[in-house]
């Protein structure tokens, strides 16, 4: 599907498809409207054809991934108030289509503050970061590691964009009961990747042992960015240098001075290089930085 400004029928519903708002290796996301109520939606279109964009995945593998994503999201939206909502879905021989909530990403909000030359108020930081932590808390409570927490994977919905939804479960994985980490193929965005996901030689490993605490590290990086306006590894430039730095990291991440002691404390805890010393999401939610009004 390449044409926009067209009517797309999914199931028994009609949608007006407008501009492309995102894309991945196997899919394209369009903005549009539900013609029954004129509410904005995002429509993810997955191309089942093998070999698209240089990917070696077969049609059957793409279809399996499509249904896995739908089943996971439908399951999570019943137990996690901060996971994106699916409104509709359908497929043809060539495409899979998912109709979801639409909103701007939290990255857009961070960029707005940067352009204005302003720091995000702590009350704002607390409001949104607590939702991010809650989203991951519910994931972990269900035995699922998200694996790619970053501002781009939280969208803002509701009145004035005041509610966050977690998106993109593409590299998430399950852990058995009473297991907190396991060997898994490492992936993710270098700025938010936890040290335990990187081999000491400075490369992603095919079988790194990581789990829930990798998500906690990523949440700490997001909080750092919200408060200081930059990411800890941003100055390193390219991804290779960042991965190399993480592979050699043996000390805790340096936290710049901030007058709020509780903020500094939770940042230090989340960004400990040893994952065993990081708090879990329940402990974070009970930390004074989130429980005391700002």
Lowest-pLDDT choice from 51-55, 105-109, 131-135, 286-290: 51-55
Average pLDDT over residues 48-76: 81
Strand partners, 33: 16, 40
- Cα distance between residue 223 and residue 293, in whole Å: 17
pLDDT classification of 49: cutoffs 50, 70, 90: confident
* 6-100 CATH: 3.30.200.20
E strand or H helix at 184, and its extent? Answer: strand 181-184
- Cα distance between residue 211 and residue 208, in whole Å: 10
pLDDT classification of 68: cutoffs 50, 70, 90: confident
Q: Taking all residues of the chain, what is their mean pLDDT, rounded to a whole number?
A: 89
**SS3 of 131, please?**
helix
- Cα distance between residue 82 and residue 160, in whole Å: 16
- Is the pLDDT at 220 greater than 90? The verdict is yes
- Which pLDDT score is estimated for 64? 86
Of the candidates 226, 205, 238, 206, which has an alpha carbon nearest to the alpha carbon of residue 270? 226
Of the candidates 256, 254, 252, which has an alpha carbon nearest to the alpha carbon of residue 276? 252
Instruction: Confirm if 99 and 35 have CB atoms less than 8 A apart.
Output: no
Provide the whole-model pTM: 0.89
- Which pLDDT score is estimated for 81? 96
* Structure tokens belonging to residue 32: 């549009």
Q: Which fold has domain 104-291?
A: Transferase(Phosphotransferase); domain 1 (1.10.510)
Of the candidates 63, 39, 33, which has an alpha carbon nearest to the alpha carbon of residue 49? 63
Parse the chain into domains and list their residue ranges.
Answer: 6-100, 104-291
Instruction: Confirm if 80 and 142 have CB atoms less than 8 A apart.
Output: yes
Instruction: Confirm if 169 and 135 have CB atoms less than 8 A apart.
Output: no
Flag whether 209 is marked binding: no
Buried b (16+ CB within 10 A) or exposed e, 9-27: ebeeeebbbeeeeeeeebb
- Cα distance between residue 291 and residue 216, in whole Å: 18
175 CB-contact burial (10 Å; exposed 0-12 / middle 13-18 / buried 19+): middle
pLDDT digit string, tens, across residues 181-214: 765 666 678 899 989 888 776 565 666 678 999 9
Lowest-pLDDT choice from 2-11, 227-236, 261-270, 280-289: 2-11
* Structure tokens belonging to residue 125: 């930081």
- Is the pLDDT at 275 greater than 70? The verdict is yes
How far from the centroid of its chain's Cα atoms is residue 171's Cα?
A: 10
List all residues 6 or more positions away from 114 whose beta carbon is below 8 Å from its beta carbon: 229
Residue with tokens 């007006």: 16
How far from the centroid of its chain's Cα atoms is residue 35's Cα?
A: 29
- Cα distance between residue 20 and residue 49, in whole Å: 20
């Amino acid at each position: 599907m390449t044409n926009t400004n067209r009517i797309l029928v999914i199931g028994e519903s009609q949608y007006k498809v407008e501009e492309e708002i995102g894309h991945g290796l196997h899919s394209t996301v369009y903005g549009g409207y539900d013609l029954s109520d004129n509410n904005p939606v995002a429509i993810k279109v997955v191309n089942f054809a093998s070999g698209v964009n240089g990917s070696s995945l077969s049609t059957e593998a793409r279809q399996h991934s499509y249904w896995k994503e739908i089943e996971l999201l439908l399951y999570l939206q019943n137990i996690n108030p901060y996971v994106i909502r699916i409104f509709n879905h359908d497929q043809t021989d060539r495409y899979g289509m998912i109709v979801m909530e639409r909103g701007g990403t939290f990255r857009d909000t961070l960029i707005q503050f940067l352009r204005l030359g302003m720091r995000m108020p702590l009350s704002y930081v607390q409001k949104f970061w607590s939702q991010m932590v809650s989203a991951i808390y519910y994931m972990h409570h269900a035995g699922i590691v998200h694996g790619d927490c970053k501002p781009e994977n939280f969208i803002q919905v509701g009145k004035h964009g005041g509610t966050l939804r977690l998106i993109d479960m593409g590299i998430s994985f399950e852990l058995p009961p009473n297991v907190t980490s396991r060997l898994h193929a490492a992936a993710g965005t270098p700025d938010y990747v936890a040290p335990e996901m990187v081999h000491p030689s400075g490369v992603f490993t095919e079988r790194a042992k990581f789990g829930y605490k990798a998500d906690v590290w990523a949440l700490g990086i997001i909080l750092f960015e919200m408060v200081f306006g930059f990411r800890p590894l941003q100055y390193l430039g390219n991804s290779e240098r960042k991965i190399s730095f993480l592979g050699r990291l043996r000390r805790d991440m340096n936290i710049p001075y901030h007058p709020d002691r509780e903020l500094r404390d939770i940042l230090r805890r989340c960004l400990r290089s040893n994952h065993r010393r990081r708090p879990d999401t329940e402990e974070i939610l009970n930390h004074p930085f989130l429980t005391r009004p700002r």
